[in-house]
Structure formats: C-alpha cells, structure tokens
Chain A
Amino acid sequence: MTHSVLLVALAVLVVIAFWVGKSRALSLAGGSSRNLHSLPGYYGLLTALWCAIPALIVMSVWSLGQDAILTHLVTTSMPTTLQLAQGSSHDLLLNEIRNVVAGNVPAELARPEVVTAAREYSRLRGIADLSLAALVLVVALFGLFVVRARLAPTLRARNAVERIVELLLLACSTIAVFVTLGIVLSVVYESLRFFHAVPVHEFLFGLDWSPQTAIRADQVGSSGAFGAVPLFLGTLMISGIAMLVAVPVGLFSAIYLAEYADRRLRSVIKPVLEVLAGIPTVVYGFFAALTVGPLLRGIGESVGLDVSSESALSAGLVMGIMIIPFISSLADDMISAVPQSLRDGAYALGATRSETIRQVVLLAALPGIVGGVLLAISRAIGETMIVVMAAGLSAKMTANPLEAVTTVTVQIVTLLTGDQEFDSPKTLAAFALGLVLFVVTLVLNVIALKVVRKYREQYE
C-alpha cells in the first residue's frame, strides 16, 4: 500500500506547513499577533490548505487514470499475436495478467507471454508509484513555499481560508449531481451497447424472455429472447398485490391511530408498526421464502388450489407488509396536516366521525396520500431482495398470482451475479432493465414529490 504511506507523508507535511505558516506570520508581525490581520492560526491553515489540496487533487487524478494508461502501455508492448485479440478475449487476457500480478495465479501455471506482460506491468507500476510519490511531494512543497513567501501581516488570511472552505463546501454539494450523472451515464452507455445487439422495440415489446437460451444456441440478439414484457407484467403484478395489502392496511391504521386511538394506545402501536420500516429487505425475503411461501402452499393444498412455493402472491404479500409503515406514516403526516377547522366544520354540521374522516379529512388529504402511494409504488417496483428470494425466475406471461413470476430487479440480479463476461448481451441486458427501472421510478418520484409539495403548500 504505497498510497497509504504517501498519504501519511503528506499528512506530516501538512502539519509542518501549518506550523511554518503560523510561526512565519508571527515572526513577520514581530511576535505580536495584534499586528496581524487575522489570528496566526489562519496563516497556518492557509499554508496547510495550499499544501494539501493541490497535492490531493494530483494524487486522485493520477490514481484514477493510472490503470488505464498502464494497461495500454502493456498491451502495446505485448507480442502482436496477443495484441490481435479483440473484444472480450482481450479483457480475459488482461484479467489473466492482473491475476498473475496479484499473485492469485502462480507464475508457473501461466502462459509465458502472460508472465512477461505481467512482469512488464509490475515494472511499470513500480515506476508509476514512485513518480506519483515524487510529484505529489513536489506539489505539496511548492504550495507550502509559495504561500510562505507571500505571507505578510496585511494578508487577509482568514478571508482567504474561508473562501477556500466555502469552495470546498460547494464542491461537496455538487457530488449529488455527479452521482446522478454517474448513474445516468453508466446505465445509458451500457444500455446503448445492448441496443446495438437487440433493437429497442424488441426489448420493450417482445413477449419472450430467455436470455440463457439466447447464449447457448449462439443466437445473440435473435428475435424474442430479450423481450422484457413478461418481466414488466411480473413486476406490475407483484407491486399491485403489495399495494393491495399496504394501502388499505396502512391507510386505515393511520386513520385509526390519528383519529380514534387514545394517546396511550397510539404511543405503543405507532412504534411497533414503524419497526417494520427498519427491517432489512433480505429479512423480508427470508420470511417470504421460508414462512409465507410454505404457509400459502399449505393453505392452497387444503382448499385444493395449486400454489407454487415461489409465488407472486407470497412475494407481493410480504412486500406489502414492508410498505405498510411507509404508507401509514405518510398518511399520518397528511392527515395531521389537515386543519382542525375543517373537522370542526363537519362536526358542527352533525357529521359522524367516520363521515368527517371519509368525506372531509381524506378528501382534503387526498393529493398528499396519492403522492405517498406513488412513492410507495416506485419503492415496490425497485424492491429487489424480496422478489429475488421469493418470486422465482420463470418469465411467464400469467395473470395467476399463485404461480411464480419474475421481475425486472430479479433479472438484473440473476444476469449480473455469478461469473460471466461483461460484454455479452446477457449482462448488458441488465443495464437496459436498470435504465427502464431508473426512468420509471424517476418519473413516479418527480410526480409524487410535486403532488406532495403542492399539497403541503396548500395548508402552510
């Protein structure tokens, strides 16, 4: 870990820079900090920041680019016979080289060309690491001495430091934008590669999903194998079942707790229901697969119904349980946001409690609740572990909730776990599915947030 050694060295240098800056400022001011514009510590900080930040920037840029450049150098230096390999076999070769370098594969077992390449790679990396260390330290020292030379009692060190801090804060806040950008770029880029092999309309409207056979029969991109409609239907069915469970239960519990239950009951039941929100989804998946699945199967058998052990019903049911607290806490917020004066108006007319709630409170809270339900749907669509563990893999077009179905997220997981080459349409298909998922949930969220915000403004 040469990087950590380098970081420690840099840290030591930064501390030195602080003391250099501080004492230099004090000595310039004749030992009395009253002659300085800012407190002496600010001069030290300014020196330290100029020492650290440029060096860190150089280091991170270098580290991100190093691997790509080294690989390129190694490839060009390799015998042409190996260079000819293109596409996935090229990646395989690189993997082989990396494995030898990392010591995962003993050198005796590897091909001699690969061993040569690996040696070359190791040599280049040694050079690169050394030059990086040298460069970083030079940049850091340069920063230190430039600032030290410019220190003067009239220098507004505090303002300069604060300017830098503000810029750092700004830089941090842009990370959120870069995350979105990163998601969009990576998903869109890989999806475009996928759509080279499989036309968009076939993917979106095709009725047959069987990525496995597509590869085995060597019929990459041939018609029908990547038709995602069964996945969309499966996702819709499970989310639908989940909403059928979660919306009534969540909504009615919120109503009961907000409007009927006394304070003691409310203070007990509310946290109990909220516990459901904190449970990891993998736990729900386990519960669905090992408790609810067999339970439904047993019930089905006793009434003569054929329930498969992995069924849309068990996954949807458990997903619904997971979403209950989400709906109920949102609905609770919305219901409590309805002004008391509206309730009073209805009561004063002689409305019963339920009439007031149904016809006035819920009506007033409706936009907010609709927004909440939209958010919940987007959650159900994107939920992964429950369906992976309890819904199954069979991409059937069925309307029977007792059968196993598969969903978009299940397929993403199945296509991307396990060892496979990255460039096959099979893995790229996962990114296309991811793109669909991202777009659909994004649209739902944007609408939902708009609706909720509008509702909030109405009563503020």
Chain B
Amino acid sequence: MSKTVAQTRALVEKSLRRRRLAELRFQAYGIAAVSIGVLFVILLFGSIIAKGAPAFRQAYVTLDVFIDPEVLYPDGTVDTELLATADYVALVRGSLKQRFMDVEGRAATRQLVELVSGSAVQDLQALVQADPKRVGTHQMLTFLADDKVDQYLKGNITRSTPEVDRSLSDQQLDWVDALKASKALELRFNKVFFTHGDSREPEQAGVWGAVVGSLYTLGVTLLLSFPVAVATAIYLEEFARRNRWTDLIEVNINNLAAVPSIVYGLLGLAMFLNFFGMPRSAPLVGGLVLALLTLPTIIIASRAALKGVPPSIREAAIGMGASPIQTVLHHVLPLAMPGMLTGTIIGMARALGETAPLLMIGMVAFIVDVPGSLSSPATVLPVQVFLWADSPERAFVERTSGAILVLLAFLVLMNATAVILRNRFERRW
C-alpha cells in the first residue's frame, strides 16, 4: 500500500539524473535567449556604426583655379552683371585640364569634370560674385569631390571590379590616384553633412534640414502635449470623482496609448489637412499629430508621479488651510515635477523617432531648403533616414547610417537627461 521511506528515497534518487539534465537544459535556454538578445543589439549597432562612421568624412579636392576673365567676360567688357550667368563649369574644366595636360577630347574631359561635385560651380560663382576683384587671379580652392570618388577613397569601389560594373572608369581611377598622391584629394571632416539640407547628389546632402525640421516639430509637440497632459493628470489624480465620465477618460487614455501610430497619421490627414485645410508637410501639423500621439504616454507618467507623492503632504497643506488648487500647485506639483519631466522626455524621445504618421501628412516630400517657419515644408530626421534608405546610390547608404547615428545621438542625449533627472530628483518616501 503506502511506500516505505526507503522506497521513496530510491524513487527520488532514480529521478534525479533526468531532472538535473532538465534543469541544465532549461538554464541553457535562458542563456541562449539572453545571448541572442545581446547578439542582436551588437549586430544592430555594429552594422549601423560600421556603415555610418564613414559618412562623417568626405572626399575634398583642392584645385588651382585660374579665374579667367576671358571666360567670365567673353566679349572683353568688364561687367559684374555678367558674373551671374557666366560659364563657371569652364573654369573648373580649365583648372582640371591644367592639372592633367594630356587629356584630349570631349568625352575624356567630361569624365574628368565628373570627378568634382556639381556644387563646385556654385561655390565658385559665390566666391567670384562676393568679390569681383578676384577675376584674373589664381586661387587654391577646395571643392567637394563627386560621391563616386568619395566611395573609391573609402574602398567601396575597387579596381578589382570589372570596369563595366563600376561607376568609375579605369582612366578616372588613374586621375583620382594621381590627385590623391599629390595630396590634392583627401578625406576630411564632412561639414556639408551637418550644415546642408537634402540633395539628390549624395555628396551635397546633409541632415541639417531634417534636424531643424525635427526641432520645430518637437517644439510644437512639447508645447501642446506637456501642459495638456499635466493638466489631465492633475485633474484625474487630484480632482476627479470616480464616476462614469472619468472611467471613460481613463479607458480612453489606456487605449490611445496602444493605438498604432499610423492611425494617428490617418487622423492628421483626414482631420487637420482635409477638414481644417492646414498646410501639408508642415512641422505645425506634424507636431500636432505627434502631440496627440505622445499625450497618453505623458499622462500615464505624470499620473504615476502624482501618485508617488504621499498623501501626508496633501493633508499637511489642507490642514494649514490651503485650498485644493493651492495644495496641488504649491506642494504636490513641485514634488511630482521631476517624474513628470522624465516621462515627458521619454515621450519626446518616442516622438523624435516616429516616422509612420508623418508620412501620412506629407512630410516625405523632397525638401532641399532648411525650413524657416512652422508652416514651411519640412522633413524630420527619421523620415530623412527613410528617404535616403530608398536611394540607390552607394553613397546614400553610409549617409543613411550617418543620419541614424545623429538620430541615435539625440535619443541617447534625451534618455540620459531623463535618467539623470530621475536619479537626481527622485525621492523615495
């Protein structure tokens, strides 16, 4: 019938081996899962940093340019008006031909000029127009090299690829090597990347336009969502009586927090653009949509911060004869503020990385200019990443990763601020 102690002991003993193995197996699953997670993090960051780091350097070519009066004033009359329409390409071409005397024929010359970015012409024009006295002088000028040259210097285009399969010919590679050998061509810090807006030419494309767009958009988001969220949290936490209406608001907030972001984009499109006729692609509308999107996050964080303030503080204030509003404004709110700010920064970080809803309201347009106001067309950093990721040029891959690194740098900054804020001001009661 019932087993003796010795029998039980034998049975337990018998089960041990199997169970020890099961234990080890289970633990191995855990280690494997953690390793996979960490591996993903490393792979993700590794691939983006490896791809993006070269974007911060760019090939520049330094040329001795003779600002030839015969080219600028073809009929010999000195007229600064003519400088606006003159043939600056000829100056660049002349400078390059001076450097490579043996180049003959139109096709070869065109190939040679291709090595310098199109922006060289604009740079040159700006320089001459700024000071017409430069006409007739020799100038050592540094221009952006073409993106293909840049890619060759970075090793993304190699001679070992058959000539037909690469975008630079053998002849061009020889010139590039010659320029490089004479130190006229070198990789430098890529200032353009941080100061320019978007461009179709990879070497002229920068993130500054997107950064400014992001700042405008986030500014609108912050101004709208923070006060409303804090007010909502205060009302729900400190004043609202529990009834159907406040229940409805609560359920609403919880559900809004989990609505896919693209649905907010649909709201923005149907409501703000089509119904209220607000401008497309504008930071104002983007900020508005993102404000609605971050509202639940900030409300939830703010309520948690208010909940963290112990009731004894409120009782003390009310006991001194303070009105409910005074209690909240003078005593509760200052204590809850660090928590609210932390939540807000985290919400803003989320808004900064948000892409999908902005696609809906037209912030995907190709915009070269750095936006100047809340209603001028703009794009934001993550959308810029999206746009560049779609571009076929090899040079845009590194720029996309570079833009991601800029985006991540902002996010790290924001999250670090949130963490510092929390550690500094968080009180345990």
Interface residues of A (CB under 8 A from B): 64, 67-68, 158-159, 162, 165-166, 168-170, 172-177, 179-180, 182-183, 186-187, 189-190, 248-253, 255-257, 260-261, 269, 272-273, 275-276, 278-287, 289-291, 321, 324, 328, 350, 352-355, 357-358, 375, 378-379, 381-385, 388-389, 409, 412-413, 416-417, 422, 430-431, 434, 437-438, 441-442, 445-446, 449
Contact = CB atoms under 8 A, between A and B. Distances in A.
A413 B356 CA distance: 8
Contact of A281 (B19, B30, B269, B353): B353
B349 A434 contact: no
Given A179-B292, A286-B389, A417-B360, 18 more contacts: A165-B325, A177-B248, A183-B263, A248-B29, A272-B38, A272-B41, A281-B355, A287-B47, A291-B43, A321-B40, A357-B26, A378-B260, A385-B382, A412-B360, A430-B266, A431-B266, A434-B262, A438-B260
A382 B360 contact: no
Contacts of A442: 255, 259
Contact of B36 (A249, A279, A289, A412): A249
Contacts of B382: 280, 282-283, 385
Interface string B398-417: 00110010011001000100
B33 interface: yes
A381 B263 CA distance: 12
B124 to A, nearest CB: 30
A162 B324 contact: yes
B181 interface: no
A162 B295 contact: no
B32 interface: yes
Interface of B: 12, 19-20, 22-23, 25-27, 29-34, 36-38, 40-41, 43-44, 47-48, 51, 227-228, 231-232, 234-236, 239-240, 248-249, 252-256, 258-267, 269-271, 274-277, 292, 295-296, 299, 323-325, 349, 352-356, 359-360, 362, 364, 382-383, 385-386, 389, 397, 400-401, 404, 407-408, 411, 415
B389 A285 contact: yes
Nearest to B34: A253
Contacts of B277: 67-68
Nearest to B360: A416
Contacts of A383: 260
Contacts, number: 263
A279 B37 CA distance: 14
Nearest to B397: A290
Given A290-B397, A354-B23, A172 B232 contact: yes
A114 B263 CA distance: 36
Contacts of B264: 183
Contacts of B269: 186, 416
A124 to B, nearest CB: 15
A269 B38 contact: yes
B274 A422 contact: yes
A328 B30 CA distance: 12
Nearest to A409: B262
Contact of B295 (A175, A182, A251, A276): A175
A182 B23 contact: no
Contact of B271 (A182, A324, A358, A445): A182
30 contacts: A67-B276, A159-B323, A166-B239, A168-B231, A172-B227, A175-B232, A176-B253, A176-B295, A180-B256, A183-B259, A186-B271, A248-B29, A250-B33, A252-B33, A253-B37, A269-B37, A269-B38, A273-B34, A275-B41, A276-B44, A278-B353, A280-B352, A283-B44, A283-B407, A286-B404, A287-B48, A290-B47, A413-B262, A416-B265, A437-B262
Contacts of B231: 168-169, 172-173
B235 A170 contact: yes
A173 B27 contact: no
Contacts of A350: 12
Contact of B32 (A252, A261, A355, A449): A252
B258 A375 contact: yes
Contacts of B299: 176
Chain A interface SS verdict (over half): helix
Nearest to B236: A173
B347 to A, nearest CB: 12
Contacts of B33: 248-253, 256
B19 A282 contact: no
Contacts of A441: 258-260, 263
Nearest to A179: B292
Contacts of A431: 266, 270
A169 B239 contact: yes
A382 B22 contact: no
B355 A434 contact: no
A176 B385 contact: no
Contacts of B30: 252-253, 255-256, 260
Contacts of B362: 417
Q: Which 6 A-B pairs have the closest CB atoms?
A: A382-B260, A280-B353, A256-B30, A252-B33, A186-B270, A354-B26
A211 to B, nearest CB: 16
A175 B230 CA distance: 12
A384 B267 contact: no
A394 B58 CA distance: 38
Contacts of A261: 34
